[in-house]
């Protein structure tokens, strides 16, 4: 699932092997791996030749690997042996990658490259080696192969691998359906205001700043799992930024443009429409980074309009970024700056949305790539409809200069967290100047924003902080409505220790969603109850069109 900046998978794969010229396996480790491999492969071969009575079958693969769980793989000694030998080879290659003596970043890059190759080489990915796909072809008299070819041709036309039946969904019809209106628009974003669902609302409005690298409606997929609708139901007057999908005319926009023309403008419009000097704010992923930067710029100008700030799976301190760190070095960033950034010919071009999608899919290749190759093409199956995967395939572009500034000053040099190091919109940025209550949420299995990295935000901000840890990953952990009763979350008493794992040792695990915890925290920061407005916007900012608006429907080209 996408919700973080793009990095170059091909660059990692091509460069990962260069350290092998300088680093080698320790001979003792290599000898042990060879000995273990020989013993295990011999045992597999012996079971193939003479399976024991009552055994599960010659060379039966481990049932925990779902790629080989179907009975077809156990139906003959040859296919069972093929699967089990693949698993042994894959395991040994990963052990070899782990055994290389090098710095941690080099080891991580080598492991990533080996994992990509291992996953691609699975016999399940090839018709000639996949007994499930072969059986289906025989049963359907070749129809499954014909359908698979049609799926392949369709994906080639649309430019991406289908992860769901995209024909089922339409933005504004069955996703992004919470009732509202567009009350402001600029070149960069539309501002949506949502219809109140309570007779009274809190006096202080709420502004959502979603990620600009994908569509805002991850926060409004369906009525039953919409964080936007839930917030409206809690009596908040909710405004949401809907970023425009950048076109070539926007290719030269910078980080400063995204701050000044983005949340800074949205904050002014929301205050003008509602008449409230203060508002609550929420940022998701890079939207949280953008929001925090904007509030720091305002603080430098002597303005403090935020009553609170909520950050969902957001980095402010980029010193511990997990798997994404393997993509970043000076050469990679410089290459991007010279090809799509301000240093490129013409002063900037677009980073295409499909490149974003492809990179993030290959962070989890078995789940988000090869699984669909096998089902769609080898078996001729149409993927089932799933709103979250429809959103995941609805990509967005990014202006090159904006992206390159972000890449260098966060992931590469971690300058944003250094007080006064960066000048944004003419102001020295100090995140410690944001002295408002902050709710920090992270997901425990998040591989894009590891929760330990998000926890560092507590040491960066200048106000009181509340940290809550949820179960699951970057998206599923956030989109976890209370009505589903799924998963759990962890909380601890105020006075959080500096070390994230010490915090977790003292935290209490509670069943269900974290949304209620956030709602209770937000309520006293939202002002008194006032009658809900009868309409949208104001005389100065009349309704432009119904929500979800035009911008969210624009496709990446």
Q: Residue 11 has what pLDDT?
A: 53
Of 69, 136, 158, 168, nearest in space to 389 by CA: 168
CA 307 from centre of chain? 27
Q: Residue 55 has what pLDDT?
A: 47
d(CA 430, CA 254): 20
Q: Residue 52 has what pLDDT?
A: 55
77-99 vs 27-49: helix crossing angle, rounded to 10: 170
The domains of the chain are located at: 9-135, 180-319+414-478+511-553
pLDDT digits (tens, 9 = 90+) for 19-33: 444 567 788 888 999
Give the pTM.
Answer: 0.91
DSSP state of 224: G
**Which residues belong to the active site?**
285
Q: Residue 203 has what pLDDT?
A: 98
Q: Residue 353 has what pLDDT?
A: 83
Q: Residue 63 has what pLDDT?
A: 52
Task: State whether CATH 1.50.10.10 applies to domain 180-319+414-478+511-553.
Answer: no
d(CA 401, CA 406): 9
Q: Residue 361 has what pLDDT?
A: 83
d(CA 215, CA 549): 12
Following DSSP, what letter does each residue of 166-213 receive, concatenated?
A: GGG--BTTTBS-S-EEEEEE-SSEEEEEE--SSSEEESS-EEEE--SS
Q: Residue 8 has what pLDDT?
A: 52
CA atoms within 13 A on the CB side of 530: 14
Q: Residue 160 has what pLDDT?
A: 86
Contact at 8 Å (CB) between 242 and 189?
A: yes
Under-50 pLDDT residues of the chain: 1-7, 9-10, 12-17, 19-21, 54-59, 61
d(CA 210, CA 290): 9
pLDDT digits (tens, 9 = 90+) for 444-500: 999 999 999 999 999 999 999 999 999 999 999 999 999 988 999 999 987 667 899
CA distances from 186 to 208, 266, 447, 556 (A): 17, 10, 34, 18
First-last CA distance in the chain:
20
Contact at 8 Å (CB) between 279 and 271?
A: yes
């Amino acid at each position: 699932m996408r919700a973080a900046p793009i990095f170059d998978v091909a660059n990692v794969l091509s460069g990962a092997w260069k350290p092998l010229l300088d680093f080698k396996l320790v001979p003792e480790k290599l000898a042990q791996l060879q000995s273990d491999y020989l013993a295990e492969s011999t045992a597999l071969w012996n079971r193939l030749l003479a399976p024991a009575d009552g055994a599960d079958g010659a060379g039966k693969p481990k049932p925990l690997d779902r790629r080989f769980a179907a009975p077809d793989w156990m139906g003959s000694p040859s296919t069972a042996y093929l699967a089990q030998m693949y698993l042994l080879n894959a395991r040994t290659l990963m052990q070899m990658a782990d055994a290389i003596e090098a710095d941690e970043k080099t080891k991580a890059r080598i492991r990533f490259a080996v994992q990509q190759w291992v996953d691609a080489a699975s016999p399940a990915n090839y018709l000639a080696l996949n007994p499930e796909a072969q059986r289906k072809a025989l049963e359907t008299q070749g129809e499954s192969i014909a359908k698979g070819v049609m799926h392949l041709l369709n994906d080639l036309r649309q430019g991406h691998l289908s992860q769901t039946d995209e024909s089922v969904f339409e933005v504004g019809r069955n996703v992004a359906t919470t009732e509202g209106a567009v009350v402001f628009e600029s070149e960069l974003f539309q501002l949506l205001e949502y219809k109140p669902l309570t007779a009274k609302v809190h006096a202080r409005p709420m502004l959502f700043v979603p990620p600009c690298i994908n569509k805002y409606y991850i926060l409004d997929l369906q009525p039953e799992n919409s964080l936007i609708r839930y917030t409206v139901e809690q009596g908040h007057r909710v405004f949401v930024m809907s970023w425009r999908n950048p076109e070539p005319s926007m290719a030269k926009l910078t980080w400063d443009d995204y701050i000044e023309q983005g949340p800074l403008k949205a904050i002014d419009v929301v205050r003008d429409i509602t008449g409230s000097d203060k508002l609550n704010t929420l940022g998701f992923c890079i939207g949280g980074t953008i929001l925090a930067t904007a509030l720091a710029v305002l603080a430098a100008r002597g303005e403090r309009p935020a009553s609170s700030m909520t950050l969902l799976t957001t980095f402010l301190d980029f010193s511990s970024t997990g798997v994404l760190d393997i993509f970043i070095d000076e050469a990679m960033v410089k290459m991007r700056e010279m090809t799509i950034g301000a240093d490129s010919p013409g002063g900037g071009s677009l980073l295409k949305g499909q490149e974003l999608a492809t990179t993030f899919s290959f962070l989890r290749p078995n789940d988000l790539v090869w699984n669909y190759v096998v089902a769609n093409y080898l078996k001729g199956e149409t993927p089932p409809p799933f709103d979250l995967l429809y959103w995941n395939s609805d990509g967005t572009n990014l202006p090159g200069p904006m992206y390159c500034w972000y890449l260098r000053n966060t992931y590469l040099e971690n300058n944003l967290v250094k007080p006064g190091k960066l000048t944004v919109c003419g102001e020295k940025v100090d995140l410690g100047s944001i002295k408002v209550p902050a709710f920090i949420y992270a997901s425990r299995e998040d591989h894009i924003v590891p929760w330990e990295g998000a926890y560092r935000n507590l040491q960066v901000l200048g106000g009181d902080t509340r940290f809550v840890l949820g179960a699951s990953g970057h998206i599923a952990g956030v989109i976890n409505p209370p009505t589903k009763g799924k998963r759990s979350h962890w909380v601890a008493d105020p006075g959080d220790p500096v070390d994230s794992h010490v915090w977790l040792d003292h935290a209490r695990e509670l069943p269900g969603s974290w949304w209620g915890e956030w709602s209770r925290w937000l309520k006293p920061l939202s002002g008194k109850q006032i009658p809900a407005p009868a309409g949208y916007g104001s005389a100065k900012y009349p309704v432009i069109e119904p929500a979800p608006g035009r911008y969210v429907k624009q496709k990446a080209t």
